[in-house]
Structure 1
């Protein structure tokens, strides 16, 4: 008997190899399957299962027995061997690729990598396949979906951005513009989306509307965040004002000092560091110590209580190091705060870089 495929990017479903949907059962059974599918191949302790399946409600007096009853119903639907009892918990006997959420992450990472490698056609195919796995809100049958679903929804938005970028690379600006317009209305401060919309307007010959869109974004950022548009948006605005650049002869070699300065300038703008909304004052000794450590170690860890300024200190050190040419390839941030599955760390890092 072939592998069963599990879907959690929408209502929870199980599907046999021949495409037949399995009647899993009621809400509690679907919640149990959701939790197990998200951790396919790994044992989930009984207390964790009880907490997630009955989240928001008072668990039964004998929660362990009630959970065993749910497991029995799930085994009856899927087959006894697919739900394994082990180490004080239960495990769904499935490979990560048998779960749509994991396939989505894999396809998304490959698609984004193809886009970065200059292959928008392959990127579009991979990202379309990834987005096609979604059938509704993520983890729809999980009682505590607000804890995990936002990360999946944010990742879906990342993939939609990348797919629209690929569309522009393929010359499909007219087809991409309606979706971009709707997304920009829903996310008015998302500079990446706004830049894509401005590019789409430009590529469809609507330069005046592109300039007006940039001005609207600039005002929104200033009024709501007190900041200026990113370097990428400002460069796009300058291009709109001056028109496309014409090829120029290669410049003559510059003195060594000028090349070094240009290298530092390039490094200072590469990466995905957040735009700073306020200036940074003091802590020069800590920054100097941190930069010294970074010169000699592959991994430097900052420790301290929440709110102590660890993130801001690391960003400031990274910006200064990039400006001085310490990292010619730039500085890239991989946000791991929302990653709860160790197996998803690699995809999160790949997506960031």
Structure 2
């Protein structure tokens, strides 16, 4: 089998170079691939794999069950995809073979381009980064709450920066629907709210911007007991 790329920003998938998916059936198998893909090229101790794949209910013969699962994953991906070393296993992939790490690289590049005043480059990079998401992060990880929350926050940061870049490009009317939806979902996110006010102003709707500001101010006072920041 040729090179494989992995998706974990959504349901866990393995994708060949030609775009076809490698069948990775079964919740446990996808969970195992997710745990390994979170640490590409690094050996993950067997005990960590058992803990993250089975959680509080490991099988009676956990080492044997893990070996059986590794065998199934090797048959699906190719024998060289999973290496054994030092009491554990590693996915023989580079970080850029994993969508999560490509997302991290692209968002970092996009944020730097935005900070440098290159809004067009920032918007393009962040479009590419956000296009990598195909559902909730780490959807097949059994205990995903804490780790997924971190990546969900990174996605929101990327969306916020992309919207700021598009606003800098004079696309206020275009960004308003997404901004409005995000502000409704995150009413206490002041940077998002500030972007929406700027977009309303730039779209020639200053009365709506002032009314929206008053609503945000009252909402923050009611919920947090504090006025908005400068």
Tell me, yes or no, if structure 1 residue 39 matches structure 2 residue 28: no
The offset of 1:2, in angstroms, is 4.2
Deviations 1:246-270 (A, max 9, x none): xxxxxxxxxxxxxxxxxxxxxxxxx
Distance (whole Å) between structure 1 residues aligned to residue 146 and residue 159 of structure 2: 22
> Which residue of 2 is the match for residue 337 of structure 1?
none
The number of aligned residues is 230
In 2, Cα distance between equivalents of 1:204 and 1:172: 8
Larger radius of gyration: 1
For residues 30-79 of structure 1, give each alpha carbon's deviation from its aligned partner in whole angstroms, at most 9, with x where no partner exists: 000000001001010011100110125x2111000000000000000011
CA distance, structure 1, for counterparts of residue 21 and residue 37 of structure 2: 16
Moved over 6 A (4+): none
Rounded Cα–Cα distance in structure 1 between residues aligned with 2:65 and 2:217: 56
Unpaired segments ≥5 residues, structure 1: 232-353
C-alpha displacement of 1:167: 0.9
CA distance in 1, matches of 2:133, 2:30: 17
- Pair 1:177-2:176 in alignment: yes
Does residue 21 (structure 1) correspond to residue 21 (structure 2)? The answer is yes
Matched residues in 1 for 2:165 and 2:146: separation?
Answer: 31
- Is the contact between residue 13 and residue 21 of structure 1 (CA under 8 Å) also seen in structure 2? yes
Q: What whole-Å deviation, never above 9, does each CA across 1:170-206 have from its counterpart, x for those lacking one? A: 1111010011111101111100000000001001111
The equivalent of 2:140 in structure 1 is 141
Cα distance, 1:136 vs structure 2: 0.4
Return 5+ residue gaps in structure 2 as ranges.
none
**3-state SS in 2 of match to 1:52:** helix
Equivalent residue for 2:188?
Answer: 189
Match of 2:162 in 1: 163
Q: Which residue of 1 aligns with 2:150?
A: 151
CA offset at residue 147 of structure 1?
Answer: 2.5
State the distance in 2 between where 1:161 and 1:191 align: 11
Give the Å deviation of 1:26: 0.8
